[in-house]
Structure 1
Amino acid sequence: MASRFKKLPFFSQAYVKKIFWWQNASRAREESRFCSMSLQEHGQQIFQSAVSAVMPEAMLKRSLRLVSEGSPRLTVGDLEFSIHRNLYLVGFGKAVLGMAAEVEKILGDHLVQGLVSVPLGIRASLQQAGRGKMLLKPDSAIKVMEGAEHNLPDEAALQAAVEIERLIKGLTANDLLLVLVSGGGSALLPAPIPPVTLEEKQTVTKLLASRGATIHELNTVRKGLSRLKGGGLARAAHPAQVLSLILSDVIGDSLDIIASGPTVLSSHSTRDCLQILGKYNLHQAMPMAVESVLQRPGSLPDPREFNHVHNVIVGSNSLALAQAKGRAQDLEYLPLILSAAVSGEVRKVSRFYSLLIQLVCSYLTGPEKEPQLERELLKLTAELQIPSLDLPGCLEMVKRSPAGRAVCLLAGGETTVQLQGEGKGGRNQELALRVALDLHRAGTTKAKCGRGRWDIVFLSGGTDGQDGPTEAAGAFSTPKLVEQAEQEGLEVEAFLSRNDSYTFFSKFQGGRSLLLTGLTGTNVMDIQVVLIRKRDSS
């Protein structure tokens, strides 16, 4: 490079040396800045990077294109639709407001009318967060209706569902209905099958959630009690063409589970709903109307009824994790993606992370083995049945990493919490608190992370920015948290016994361990980040 500069009269060798000095100094400053940042700051950056990958603008610019040459056409991947001011739009979910704003920019005057059902307060929250570009313009052809406070179906959401149903039933074979779907869509599109009332449907959902039912189980029952879910919306829109753009927030990206599959042929029957209620011993607690609807004989849906429907996933947890991995690499970690499908009861998942952290620390420390830890972790991994998890491969990469290399473990998914108390919290905050408790207990064993050689931070956060009925997206924790909390007079186990993780984190160190993002305008389940860095390297 310097030899090339010497051929140019206006570049002296002294100047070239100055350039190289400046470049090296800048690199050193950047490396120093990375090292001086706390693990919590790194964790927040990595989490924010994951969320940015699945923001509506980025997703739709990748997926949707308007071709104006000749006859106007809308393309999505290999799909192509002729358009001539025949486009209608409906949407429901935590991310659809930003999706709708971007779609309207792309489609312009071709969009005739639209209606989206979005979470209560999301417009104000996005405005306060400086995300005004995710809002629709005042003269928009799309009507916005807010509802489903705390992600629970309510009268406002029901009214939005009724208006959506009225709009789509008026479409013809010449029309194209664009459906925007994201997580939270189930609560924002409640349309119970009579005689089931909204309140009765809410009762069923709350009872199942309190028993630890998975999102797959919850949405299976919701479909069985809904006019629009389980493909009902697509059937109501016939004979119009239906193009559904979906942001996945469920394990495995199952189309008929995301927002309870309003445009997808359902793979479940009312018999499946009854089996789920039986699994959790809830038959006796069910309202009579619910039992009567689920007991009705029904015919199997005909796949030919969905020939007019095209479902496309435009964003997922896997995409978010890939972006997070790149950011962790920029921060000089060895980044390892475990799985985008971590699920299960929060107690077991926290134990999984605790054992994994201990084992990684032992591998980073030296040749001494921890066979008992390894056996317990492998056994628990088999119980959790985490898809695509290559645990031996990840551990082998840790073993081969250079001495002192910081490690970042990444995962996504959605845990469940079995409610025992009346506290305030969410699955991410409870998971973070339980990991801290497990690591604290492990400090009395031979686990290397208990000997103070490593700085460790665990982060779990919801990509939608809302963890349960709280203002937090999630929380950070460390192996020292329990001990530090005791010094403040806070007993971690007491808070966990009443599912009161948010109250704990609000009190602990002035709330500094809470992950506060505000509503993000997107939703692809949760992200977990584990950062492990040798103490003397910071």
Structure 2
Amino acid sequence: MARALSLLRPRPLLTLVGRRTPAPAPRGMSLDSRARLVFAAALEAVQPDAVVRQSVERRQDAVTVDGHTFTLRHNLHLVGFGKAVLGMAAEVERILGDHLVRGVVSVPAGIQQTLRQNGKEHLLLRENSRIRVMEGAKNNLPDADAQRAADAIKQVASELTEEDLLLVLISGGGSALLPAPAPPVSLQEKVEVTRRLAAAGATIQELNTVRRALSTLKGGGLAHCAHPAQVVALILSDVIGDPPDLIASGPTVKSEVWAEEVLSLLRHYQLLDSLPPSVNRVLARPGPRRWEENPDGAPPTAAAAPLNVVIGSNGVALRQAGRRARELGFRPVVLSPGVCGDVRSVARLYGLLARFAAPRDPPPPELAAALLALGPEVGVASWDLCRTMQALDQARAEGWGATCLLAGGEPTVELTGTGRGGRNQELAMRVALELRGLEPPPPKGPVFLSGGTDGQDGPTDAAGAVADGGLPGEAGAQGLDMERFLGDNDSYSFFSRLSGGKRLLVPGLTCTNVMDVHVLVIPTAPITAT
């Protein structure tokens, strides 16, 4: 196994973040504090205004996005939908506002007031803005306000000509903020069908298949409405792998939806016999739904295909986190931005990696074998695991005090109780159990942080928590039974009662969402406490 690891070469995107001599550890700063600073850097990298500023280049009367240049002649129109698009729109307005004709953005209910209350005025539009802000989707559910916003967005797109440029801003939560049911399906009927599908265990891909079939704007419908204008979509991804067709159900990604496929899916989940008549009417239309034709059925004109560019993602956040980790004296290694699966398996993954990197002789071969066997359960490829183990071996050999292992994604929690909490806090608890007994002990030993970049972990004000191998003993000393709290999915109550809540991660309003960030600080050589 060691020979196999030595022959592997890191891939460009998921590799060590540099190979310089480690910076000295900040004097007096704990591993816990440094892990929190690494998480803060990840958030900073995916702020809505920052990702736009780094992706949109203005050159006099032209704009360049992802290597494509478009002429500006007071022909720019803007629409957007999602939890982060208000800040994205504000930055577009600062960069391109003199060519902006009009725009509409659909954003969560109350977001403007929340931004003002939290001192985030830079993410708000100007008072005399040409962009109309429409709030809706209270509690992240499609509602009448969101549907009115979707209608306004459709109107903007439908009135464009081949001389126009439509800039589409998309972020997480966009699906609920762009509900446009295919007539005669009502919003309530569409919501109920997708709700029942989700309750039956349908995957996100299956849910999006049905959403596209029952929508006029999803699955490329918005780009279809905007034809023959040039469409450019800037996307802040909250989906593993960053597939544009899944983020907000892909309103700017041309696709085909076969009614037969949707009917087969509904039949599989035993919902076919209870569909509303309106849904049956839409699905009774033969053949695929195509977006290559014009709305009036005329031959398509020679318009360029929509340009879909992911400008912010979990990978972007992890790269910036790695830079900050190096500044703080760690050797940064990115494992994967696609960690998924049950939190029990994910916790086991981090426990095994911590044991593999322990500051001692080379790890036993069975540790590497166990990690490779676990990889498919947690969405991490064998190549990435081998590359990471090689990096941990190098860190030990080169004398780094600690390695900062970075990962992201969206693990899942099996709900067995009625407590309060979320996947990040529960993952932190379970990793603490895995780290128990490792050398060196806290505060020198491994530290783990798990945080949601949207700032909320379940129905709580925390984004996650920080844990180490000393947490079980600390909990026992305070009369807190970790297994009982885990059985009730009550991780927030556990961390709130543990030492006054000092282990909770509470960043406040983050204004973004690129899934979760995991930070595992592993001593890979004997280090001096700071």
TM-score by length of 1: 0.83
Deviation at 1:388, TM superposition (A): 7.9
Which residue pairs with 1:14 in the alignment? none
State the AA in 2 paired with 1:95: A
> Which one of 403, 409, 414 corresponds to residue 413 of structure 1?
409
Deviation at 1:65, TM superposition (A): 2.6
Aligned positions of 1:81-96 closer than 5 A: 81-96=70-85
Which residue pairs with 1:432 in the alignment? 428
Aligned-partner SS, 1:455: coil
Aligned positions of 1:28-427 closer than 5 A: 31=24, 34-68=26-60, 72-207=61-196, 214-266=203-255, 269-270=258-259, 273=262, 281=269, 283=271, 287-288=275-276, 292=280, 293-294=282-283, 296-301=285-290, 303=292, 307-361=304-358, 364-367=359-362, 369-387=363-381, 389-401=383-395, 402-403=398-399, 405-427=401-423
Deviation at 1:110, TM superposition (A): 1.4
For the 8 Å contact 2:442–2:470, the answer to whether it is kept is no
Deviation at 1:211, TM superposition (A): 6.3
State the AA in 2 paired with 1:77: D
Compare the two structures and name the one with the higher helix fraction: 1
Q: Measured at CA, do residues 278 and 91 of structure 1 come closer, stay the same or move farther in structure 2, by a change above 3 Å?
A: same
Deviation at 1:252, TM superposition (A): 1.6
CA distance in 2, matches of 1:208, 1:353: 33
CA distance in 1, matches of 2:487, 2:266: 26
State the AA in 1 paired with 2:520: V
| Structure with more relative contact order (C-alpha pairs < 8 Å, separation 6 or more) | 2
For the 8 Å contact 1:460–1:526, the answer to whether it is kept is yes
CA distance in 2, matches of 1:536, 1:521: 37
CA distance in 2, matches of 1:406, 1:210: 44
TM-superposition CA deviations, 1:374-404 (whole Å, max 9, x none): 3322111134342585212221222222346
CA distance in 2, matches of 1:216, 1:39: 39
Deviation at 1:244, TM superposition (A): 1.1
CA distance in 2, matches of 1:515, 1:385: 25
> Which one of 460, 464, 473 corresponds to residue 474 of structure 1?
464
Deviation at 1:46, TM superposition (A): 0.6
Query: More displaced, 495-504 or 132-141?
Result: 495-504
State the AA in 2 paired with 1:43: A
Of all paired residues, the percent bearing the same amino acid is 51
CA distance in 2, matches of 1:296, 1:467: 42
CA distance in 2, matches of 1:290, 1:479: 56
Aligned-partner SS, 1:390: helix
Q: Measured at CA, do residues 316 and 451 of structure 1 come closer, stay the same or move farther in structure 2, by a change above 3 Å?
A: closer
For the 8 Å contact 2:325–2:331, the answer to whether it is kept is yes
Query: More displaced, 478-487 or 112-121?
Result: 478-487
TM-score by length of 2: 0.84
For the 8 Å contact 1:212–1:417, the answer to whether it is kept is no
Q: Measured at CA, do residues 472 and 299 of structure 1 come closer, stay the same or move farther in structure 2, by a change above 3 Å?
A: same
For the 8 Å contact 1:338–1:389, the answer to whether it is kept is no
State the AA in 2 paired with 1:519: L
For the 8 Å contact 1:422–1:498, the answer to whether it is kept is yes
TM-superposition CA deviations, 1:283-321 (whole Å, max 9, x none): 379654586355654425255778442222222221211
Q: Measured at CA, do residues 526 and 201 of structure 1 come closer, stay the same or move farther in structure 2, by a change above 3 Å?
A: farther
Q: Measured at CA, do residues 224 and 389 of structure 1 come closer, stay the same or move farther in structure 2, by a change above 3 Å?
A: farther
For the 8 Å contact 1:453–1:535, the answer to whether it is kept is no
State the AA in 2 paired with 1:345: D
* Runs (4+) off by over 6 Å: 450-453
Which residue pairs with 2:19 in the alignment? none
Deviation at 1:410, TM superposition (A): 0.3
CA distance in 2, matches of 1:403, 1:307: 54
State the AA in 1 paired with 2:507: T
For the 8 Å contact 1:94–1:464, the answer to whether it is kept is no
State the AA in 2 paired with 1:427: R
For the 8 Å contact 2:442–2:469, the answer to whether it is kept is no
Aligned-partner SS, 2:445: strand
State the AA in 2 paired with 1:51: L
CA distance in 1, matches of 2:343, 2:262: 24
Which residue pairs with 1:26 in the alignment? none
Uncovered stretches (5+) of structure 2, i.e. residues with no partner: 1-22, 294-299
CA RMSD of aligned residues (A): 3.0
CA distance in 1, matches of 2:111, 2:57: 27
Q: Measured at CA, do residues 187 and 421 of structure 1 come closer, stay the same or move farther in structure 2, by a change above 3 Å?
A: farther
Aligned residues: 495
Deviation at 1:217, TM superposition (A): 4.1
